[in-house]
Amino acid sequence: MDSRVLFDAAFTGDVNTLQELIQEDPLVLHTVTVATSNTPLHIAALLGHTQFAMEVMQNYPGLADELNQQGLSPIHLASAKGHRETVREMLVRRPDLALIKDEDGNVPLHTATIRGRKDILTELFTTESAKKLTSSEETVLQLAVKHNRYQALELLIQLANQHQIGNELLNAVDTGRNTVLHLACAGKKSKMVKLLSSTGVDANAVNSEGLTALDLVVRSAKGSNGADEIQEIIRSVGAELTERVERLVQSIVSNQQGSSVGRRERFVGSLKNGIGILAAIFASLSFQVGMNPPGGVWQEWASSNTTKAAIAATAGGDNDTDPNSWSDSLFVGLFELASVSDGDSHKPGLSIGWELGKNKFLNFLLCNSLCFFLSIAVIVVVALTEVFLWDWQSTSLLLLPMMCVLLLISAAEFVFGVAIVTDTSVANVFPLRALIVSIGGTGGGAVALIAIFVPPAQKSGTEHMKKFAPKLRWILSSPE
């Protein structure tokens, strides 16, 4: 007889063909078992052909004990696939099949739990099968947690309580002496931990490493919300840390605080150094520019007529060198004594920019001077914080605004310097016409910067103001 006919019947669940083959050869099932790994009963159980499987078991009951090449029996296959009727009928004919082990030492209840087959669990659960352990001495509850089968775990707890073995299974331990709560906490399965915490499980049981379930959560927690939730759940049922882990937690907290303080101190030190270096660079550049102004200096004596001719040619009729036109400059009243008489001529070493455009040069000179002295002030404050160990938090309220003012003044200085060397009216149209710096405050100190954008004054040929007081009023008020 061709065995393919028998296997085709097993695949399709054709009971009539099976019966005909048995009538022709009563040993057909015995013969095929020797020749193949998967028997017709394995195939029928795998595919859920209940009637075919029952007919095979009726003629050859011992076929249900055979393991295939994967080490599984027919009822293991039916349990894994969730064929409830097939499992039930097999247990009716062979109740001992509930305790048969596969190659890995798992009973069908273990297989159904791993696959999360709730319907099969109710068929296979008995007091004896529930107490069976895996090769790692894991209970069926621990398998449910390990394979993240929440619904299966919930049902198994109910069945265990019905059979009055709930506490025994809940507090059973594996080879590492871990309870089911240890496994749930180690896997950070908060939903399962909440379920187990309501069952009366021993929350302070220790494993082979001397750790409780709470110890495992705390030791592996890295500030995650899940770990915090689990800690809250198991602490509510009386879970406590062991002395060893409690010391470890205190050490970690102390190290984190020390590390945070260390990082802050390093940052403050770097910030101080950066501000000091930046201020020194600004001071050096301002000093260098003050000693070597844009446009250079006169190298030789010249006659008064030559000087005036050069000035007139450069100004292009702008009348920028006329002392009476200085009302366009910022704080020009302070420089009225610098006017040049008609008979003056330039001298070697004097700035060419001053002779050719006093208005622009005064703006540039004011910004450069402010930049230099403010840089020196910053350097002094930084040095004093180190000498007198001043509180950086208070000192920074003074230094940081000072640096901001320094940067703004440097920007204005650059604009006015460009206006000098390019002989343009950039300084007259640039919005930063009036820069007033107000430094005040108490305690830690505060620095405020007010930038007033004043449009350039219209030159209508009227008489310009010459005295310092009227010019100051013009600065603080909008021109009419």
CATH code (residue 37): 1.25.40.20
Most confident of 109-113, 336-340, 472-476: 109-113
Q: How do residues 331-387 score in pLDDT, each as one tens digit?
A: 444 444 344 444 445 677 677 766 666 777 777 788 888 888 888 888 888 777 777
In a domain, 148, yes or no: no
In a domain, 287, yes or no: yes
CB 11 within 8 A of CB 47: yes
Separation between Cα atoms, residue 420 and residue 354, nearest integer Å: 9
The answer to whether the predicted template modeling score (pTM) of the entire model surpasses 0.75 is no
Q: Which domain holds residue 17?
A: 1-132
CB 78 within 8 A of CB 46: yes
| Mean pLDDT across the chain | 75
pLDDT at 339: 42
Q: Among 60, 143, 83, which residue's Cα sits nearest to residue 107? A: 143
Q: What is the chain's Cα-based Rg?
A: 47
Q: 448: helix, coil or strand?
A: strand
In a domain, 243, yes or no: no
Q: How many residues does the structure list for the chain?
A: 480
Q: How do residues 442-472 score in pLDDT, each as one tens digit?
A: 333 333 332 323 333 333 333 433 333 343 3
pLDDT band at 46 (very low <50, low <70, confident <90, very high): very high
Q: How do residues 182-201 score in pLDDT, each as one tens digit?
A: 999 988 899 999 999 999 88
**Two tokens at 14?**
């054709």
CB 69 within 8 A of CB 107: no
Q: Is the pLDDT of residue 441 over 60?
A: no
Q: How do residues 197-243 score in pLDDT, each as one tens digit?
A: 999 889 899 998 888 888 888 877 655 556 888 888 888 888 887 76
Looking at residue 337, what DSSP letter applies?
Answer: G
Report the number of distinct structural domains present in the chain.
2
- Domain stops at, among 81, 114, 132: 132
Q: What are the residue ranges of helices labelled H in 292-332?
A: 304-315
pLDDT at 210: 85
In a domain, 89, yes or no: yes
- Domain stops at, among 132, 153, 179: 132
User: In the predicted model, what is the mean pLDDT of residues 410-416?
Assistant: 79
Alpha carbon 126 to chain centroid, angstroms: 50
In a domain, 31, yes or no: yes
Q: 229: helix, coil or strand?
A: helix
Burial label, 212 (beta-carbon count in 10 A; 0-12, 13-18, 19+): buried
- The answer to whether the Cα torsion of 386, 387, 390, 391 is positive or negative is positive
pLDDT band at 267 (very low <50, low <70, confident <90, very high): low
Separation between Cα atoms, residue 38 and residue 67, nearest integer Å: 8
User: In the predicted model, what is the mean pLDDT of residues 36-55?
Assistant: 91
pLDDT at 129: 94
pLDDT at 110: 96
Distances (CA, A) of 68 to 6, 36, 75, 99, 163: 17, 9, 12, 17, 33
Element at 450 (helix H, strand E): strand 446-452
- Domain stops at, among 97, 117, 132: 132
In a domain, 441, yes or no: yes
**Two tokens at 339?**
């006017």
pLDDT at 259: 59
Separation between Cα atoms, residue 348 and residue 355, nearest integer Å: 12
**Two tokens at 102?**
């596969």
Separation between Cα atoms, residue 237 and residue 360, nearest integer Å: 81
Most confident of 65-79, 269-283, 302-316: 65-79
In a domain, 180, yes or no: no
Same domain? For 128 and 271 the reply is: no
